[in-house]
Amino acid sequence: MTQQINDIAEQKRIAGNEQQEPVITIRGLKKSFKDHNVLQSVALEVHKGENLVILGKSGSGKSVLIKCLVGLEWPDEGEISVLGQDISTLRYDELNALRVRVGFLFQNAALYDSMTVRENLSFPLRMHKKTMTQEKKDAVIMEMLDNVGLVDAIDQMPSRLSGGQSKRIGLARTLILRPEIMLYDEPTTGLDTGTSREISELMVRTKKKYNISSITITHDMPCAKLTADRIIMMKEGVVVAEGSYEELEKSEDEWIRSFFH
């Protein structure tokens, strides 16, 4: 299994070398809540087709960072450009048009618990693809459920799903609008080792199939190893290290090494 993970990681890095064009650019991002400075002049770029993994301890500002990318939080200072658009200058309808192109997988999947799996998946289509026929919508839903291997769960309520199944359905719901960028907020947290690996492999397959750029926030090192083209490490709202998994693994810095060993 370790060999398989290393092979996928190697393929990913080869593909990573071909990536150039930035789809996300962040410059001088600052965010604070009352007296607590959560983000302190963060700068990063994500290139087309790349998966950037952000590592850091709890409270280091990772989740706030990706929430700033979709307007769930607003920065105090700095520039955020997503798919060539400066989000601070967008009107609400323009921001929503951008949000359709950016998928966000929440830590607990955030499935609508009053709806079945089918309704969870059809909801974004109903709201955004008003001209799409019902047959086409059904076909897209089945394709997405097939992608995540949960076609049988179509009529289940979210409360009947396991943690891993919820994450997969959450991913299917996010992918149904065919986003160009995916933001994963701790996609494997709370899952057992086997299920975490399945989710990580699903993320890699999804990226490959739909050519999606992504940012992944995780504490799960096997997930980082499997999915990351590049890793940045955050400490107290500051980016302290950047590199590939292998480069950071060999770091002499004790704090960085604490993640890998």
168 binds another protein (CB under 8 A): no
Residues 123-152 binding another protein (CB under 8 A) are: 123-124, 127-128
Is 232 strand, coil or helix?
strand
d(CA 206, CA 61): 26
For another protein, the closer CB: 97 or 139: 97
Tell me, rounded to whole angstroms, the distance of Cα 255 from its chain centroid: 24
For another protein, the closer CB: 73 or 138: 73
Q: How far is the CB of 67 from another protein (least distance, A)?
A: 8
For another protein, the closer CB: 130 or 261: 130
For another protein, the closer CB: 90 or 142: 90
- The radius of gyration of the chain from alpha carbons, rounded to an integer in Å, stands at 18
- Backbone φ and ψ for 239, nearest 5 degrees, come out as -80, 120
For another protein, the closer CB: 15 or 95: 95
255 binds another protein (CB under 8 A): no
Tell me, rounded to whole angstroms, the distance of Cα 37 from its chain centroid: 24
113 binds another protein (CB under 8 A): yes
Q: How far is the CB of 119 from another protein (least distance, A)?
A: 11
d(CA 43, CA 28): 6
Question: Binding another protein by CB under 8 A: which of 106, 138, 189, 222?
Answer: 106
Q: Do 111 and 176 meet the contact criterion of CB atoms below 8 Å apart?
A: no
- Backbone φ and ψ for 188, nearest 5 degrees, come out as -115, 5
210 binds another protein (CB under 8 A): no
Amino acid at 243: G
Give me the residues that bind another protein (CB under 8 A), please: 70-72, 96-97, 99-100, 102, 104, 106-108, 110-114, 123-124, 127-128, 174, 177
